[in-house]
Structure 1
Amino acid sequence: MAGTGTAVFFHAHPDDEALLTAGTMAMLSAQGYRVVLVVATAGERGLADLAPGEELGEARMAELYKSAALLGCARVVRLGYADSGLGADGGIAEDRPENAFIDADSEEAAQRLAAVLKEESAELLTIYDPAGGYGHPDHVQVHRVGKRAAEIAGTPIVLEATVNRDPLLRALRLVSKFYRFPDNFDIRSFESGYSPGEVITHRVNVRRYAKQKRASMAAHATQTAGGDGDRTLAMFLKIPWPLFRLVFGTEWYVRRDLPPGTRLKHPFDPAPKSPESGVTPT
């Protein structure tokens, strides 16, 4: 499938693109689409073991550029907000920095993103689902800001990058038989995270691009160590190749302007016609 047009992928921090949308990005780039990666922050509040004098934000942005190159991105944009971090309870951190993304004026942030969308004449924008996937405050803000930016710029296709939590739970339970999860990793938290299969409109087969997805994950080396115990990204990279390709071979999206039950396989697939009226729903 040869394509033309531009897709903008909006993420909160470096490494989010590797986990949620890397396969789709690599696929679209290979098919001729222009792929632009936008991050709200440099992820400077993440955990990492760094060499003396090394700044985490700078290191993570360097990793992001490496990941973007592996995925075929034509451009990387950082909106310039500070990483909001996470509180001890997994919610909003009380000690967040000035200019934290979660505290940004949503309209002002949306205007920044809309400027990129307009400059690129983007036909498609990816954001997160309303819960921000697993609930990180910056991810929730990505949903709000991205949704509004698409309205301002008139971007016609908005896809919420998510995970089908039904097979996710099955996969995590399978992996748990072979690997020990970090102590702070609770499978039960995924029972209410991301999106149920019934609302997902796009199931994108990216198995052909699983090597690029794995390389994108590996590019974020600072996120494979630091803190107590193994990090989630490091654990994913230890999964044997055949199982990795199976577990990470599909990426999921929700397009809210399509009717329930829609089943599409490509981000740029046209909206289906209503069987009752024969007209495309709006």
Structure 2
Amino acid sequence: MSFHAHPDDEALLTAGTLARVTAEGHRAVIVVATSGAAGLAAANLTGTDLAERRLAELRRSAAVLGCARVECLGYDDSGMARAPAKAANAFAHADREEAAQRLARILREERADVLTIYDPAGGYGHPDHIRVHDVGVLAAQLAGTPVVLEATLDRRLLLRALRLVCFLPGVPRDFAPARFASAYTAPERLTHRVDVRRFSCLKRAAMAAHVSQAGGGSGLRTLAFLLRLPGPVFRWVLGHEWYVEHGRVAARPLLDDIFASLPRPS
């Protein structure tokens, strides 16, 4: 099961993993905390219209990846820390126990072996992403889910790539290296480097399903920029997905199998 804050988050950090595990015969489920109604989008998409649009896009993305089920916990999008949404039911401020019980119910129904969440900082500090980590850890404890993987990025590789491209024409301002100096995860803490290069076309299609998130705001959006990358470059940049297994001591080589910690059948 892959737990995310908003529709489109699943495509950016875990789509390749989801496509790979479904191709290997496993059942995959996506759960989002919110509909993403506070996200940037075209001016004619706001509120309920945007929420319905984004959930429909999520279902299309999940179908591309072969996922068997999509659920939304029904919380409101909290917005960014610098621009919070004024929502009474904002996920960032939700009762942790209540939200964890909702997620744990789905984990039990699915008898999930693995739950993906985010790292403790929520990657780049989005309040809803931080809450995904907190709620996900507790939900796994409540449901007895044995493996919890924090979806993240290798900070060193990310900063190296941003320094190479940040001055190119059309690169979003959000790609400034200074913004990510302490974001995501230092390489020595990583436990998994999952090779998803064979599934880069499916990952790209999952990202492309989120049409509403390719526009809106000022300048080129991150999703739109990544989708403009030529195929070989896309595969090179996004061909691996990174995780920290909750409670596991990092070691080398990094694991390529998200099920590696599960007992093997005798």
State the TM-score, normalized to the length of structure 1. Answer: 0.88
Counterpart-to-counterpart distance in 2, 1:52 and 1:74: 28
Counterpart-to-counterpart distance in 2, 1:245 and 1:227: 27
Q: Which residue does the alignment assign to 1:84?
A: 78
Aligned residues of 1:169 and 1:187 also touching (Cα < 8 A): yes
2:107 matches 1:117: yes
Q: Which residue does the alignment assign to 1:269?
A: 260
Counterpart-to-counterpart distance in 2, 1:16 and 1:253: 15
Q: Which residue does the alignment assign to 2:183?
A: 193
TM alignment of 1:66-145, pairs within 5 A: 66-87=60-81, 89=82, 93=84, 95-145=85-135
Match for residue 49 of structure 1 among 22, 42, 49: 42
Letter of the 1:46 partner, please give it.
G
Counterpart-to-counterpart distance in 1, 2:191 and 2:150: 10
Letter of the 2:7 partner, please give it.
P
Counterpart-to-counterpart distance in 2, 1:65 and 1:130: 27
TM alignment of 1:108-257, pairs within 5 A: 108-176=98-166, 178-257=168-247
Counterpart-to-counterpart distance in 1, 2:94 and 2:52: 21
Going from structure 1 to structure 2, the CA distance change for 1:255 and 1:147 (only over 3 Å counts) comes to same
| Aligned-partner SS, 1:96 | coil
Q: Which residue does the alignment assign to 1:12?
A: 5
| Aligned-partner SS, 1:160 | strand
Counterpart-to-counterpart distance in 1, 2:163 and 2:225: 14
Q: Which residue does the alignment assign to 1:62?
A: 56
- Alignment gaps of 5+ in structure 1: 1-7, 273-282
* Bigger Cα Rg: 1
Letter of the 2:216 partner, please give it.
G
Match for residue 25 of structure 2 among 32, 44, 48: 32
Counterpart-to-counterpart distance in 2, 1:172 and 1:22: 22
Going from structure 1 to structure 2, the CA distance change for 1:214 and 1:179 (only over 3 Å counts) comes to farther
Counterpart-to-counterpart distance in 2, 1:162 and 1:232: 16
The structure in which a higher percent of residues are helix is 2
| Higher deviation after alignment, 261-270 or 169-178 | 169-178
CA RMSD of aligned residues (A): 1.7
**How high is the sequence identity, in percent, across the aligned residues?**
56
Counterpart-to-counterpart distance in 2, 1:256 and 1:125: 10
State the TM-score, normalized to the length of structure 2. Answer: 0.94
| Higher deviation after alignment, 170-179 or 36-45 | 170-179
Count of aligned positions: 261
List per-residue Cα deviations over 1:116-143 (Å, max 9, x = no partner). 0000000100000000000000000000
Alpha-carbon shift at residue 182 of structure 1 (Å): 2.3
Counterpart-to-counterpart distance in 1, 2:115 and 2:45: 38
Counterpart-to-counterpart distance in 1, 2:249 and 2:174: 38
Counterpart-to-counterpart distance in 1, 2:170 and 2:208: 20
Counterpart-to-counterpart distance in 2, 1:111 and 1:145: 9
| Aligned-partner SS, 2:124 | coil
Going from structure 1 to structure 2, the CA distance change for 1:81 and 1:224 (only over 3 Å counts) comes to same
Alpha-carbon shift at residue 177 of structure 1 (Å): 5.4
